Chains A and B, each alone.
Chain A
Amino acid sequence: MSPEELLFAETHEWAHVADQGGDKIATIGLSAHAIEALTDLVYMELPEVGTAVSAAHSFGEVESVKATSDLYSPVDGEIIEVNTSLPDNLEVLGTDPYGEGWILKVKLASETALENLHDHAAYEKMCEEG
């Protein structure tokens, strides 16, 4: 996916929403900007399939050599798939953050939270203004 197709949270997670069998499914990941800021990632803890997530609430944690950060859900819903290979291949987040570096797939309970997300241009501007 190209970043222009994605929506971004102020906490640096991205979401891509698609129709799948009548359901709205959001694929969620972490922006290239956040991954670069975190520097060398060493550990990631992710939730299990079936867990409910709420927008702006933590769903996991990531540790880099110097910093630990929460991962915040940009959407409301239920986790239907987790990229379980990711914690053992964290370098993928750096090489392909918007493709193989996806973290979760969530079946949306509502689309309300999407209104608080930014398109790529607005997100880039936010990062530049820092």
Chain B
Amino acid sequence: MAVDQALLISADQSGDSTLRLYSWSTPTLSLGYFQSYDDRKRHEPSLNCAVVRRASGGGAIVHDREITYSLCIPSVNRWSTRNCELYKLVHQEIIAVLAGFGIDSRLVEKSREFESKDGADHPKAFLCFQRRTPGDIIVGKHKIGGSAQRRLKNSLIQHGSILLARSNCAPELPGILEVSEFEVARQEFCRELAIRFSDKLDFRLEPSKLSDEEKRLCDEVKSAQFGNREWTKKR
């Protein structure tokens, strides 16, 4: 999360957009920005996971057998003010990549399309993937992709998660493997996604590592926010 935030600050300084595709070294629960830390006690399977608070809102995500992406758009880029269009376009491209793997997914079209009587699929559910809002990615009735945005003055980050398979830390959530019986090859998926994003968003992609300045920003942000226990527990 600190790297994402550092890339967002850096993007606004350099004018360059950044796409980052990654997974987590250890199963981690990310809380939505406005969620209460104590709410994690409501979710027993993830109690032993590391925890971080995101800069973006929404429900909690268990980052385990999934792919996380982040897209940082500086204010000079036209997409920074077209947040709704960006959201939809990114999800449509994820759907297109999944189709290439033989997986039939689609966007949720309207609120509460799948709300059930037992509280699952509820807009206030603790886990992001138990919520359904228009624009989420579903296979059948199961949500397998979701994203959220955070704006910094005029720059924008959109990040999200694609569930590849069920995690023991969130056993109530099937992933693509369980709902479609297809195993997504992580590297191939990321490569295809990067190509499609670059085509549709009109980006010229150049692979790169964090610069020294981005590493410095990351340390700063980590210390003040994402690696700071007090900040994580502030709500």
Contact = CB atoms under 8 A, between A and B. Distances in A.
Interface in A42-63: 42-43, 45, 56, 61, 63
29 contacts: A10-B154, A11-B153, A11-B154, A39-B84, A56-B153, A61-B34, A63-B33, A63-B34, A63-B57, A64-B57, A65-B58, A65-B133, A66-B83, A66-B84, A66-B133, A66-B135, A66-B147, A66-B149, A67-B57, A67-B150, A68-B34, A68-B148, A68-B151, A70-B151, A70-B152, A70-B153, A72-B153, A130-B78, A130-B82
A1 interface: no
Interface string B64-84: 000000000000001001111
Contacts of A10: 154
A125 B202 CA distance: 25
Contacts of A63: 33-34, 57
Interface in B128-183: 133, 135, 147-154
B56 interface: yes
Interface residues of A, number: 19
Most buried by B among A37, A61, A65, A72: A65
A48 B12 CA distance: 31
B55 A66 contact: no
Given A63-B57, A66-B133, A72-B153, A37 B148 contact: no
Rank and list the top 3 A-B pairs by shortest CB-CB distance, nearest first. A67-B149, A63-B57, A69-B151
Nearest to B134: A65
Given A65-B133, A66-B133, A67-B149, A43 B57 contact: yes
B87 interface: yes
Contacts of B55: 68
Nearest to A64: B57
B83 to A, nearest CB: 6
Contacts of A37: 81, 83-84
B92 to A, nearest CB: 15
A56 B154 CA distance: 12
Contacts of B148: 66-68
A45 to B, nearest CB: 7
Given A43-B34, A130-B78, A68 B150 contact: yes
A85 B149 CA distance: 26
Nearest to B75: A10
A8 B33 CA distance: 27
Contacts of A56: 153
A45 B150 CA distance: 15
A67 B83 contact: yes
Contacts of A45: 34
B81 to A, nearest CB: 4
Most buried by A among B34, B57, B58, B83: B57
Most buried by B among A37, A45, A63, A72: A63
A39 B151 CA distance: 14
Contacts of B34: 43, 45, 61, 63, 68
Nearest to A126: B81
Given A56-B153, A67-B148, 14 more contacts: A11-B154, A42-B57, A45-B34, A61-B34, A63-B34, A66-B58, A66-B84, A66-B148, A66-B149, A67-B83, A67-B151, A68-B150, A72-B153, A130-B78
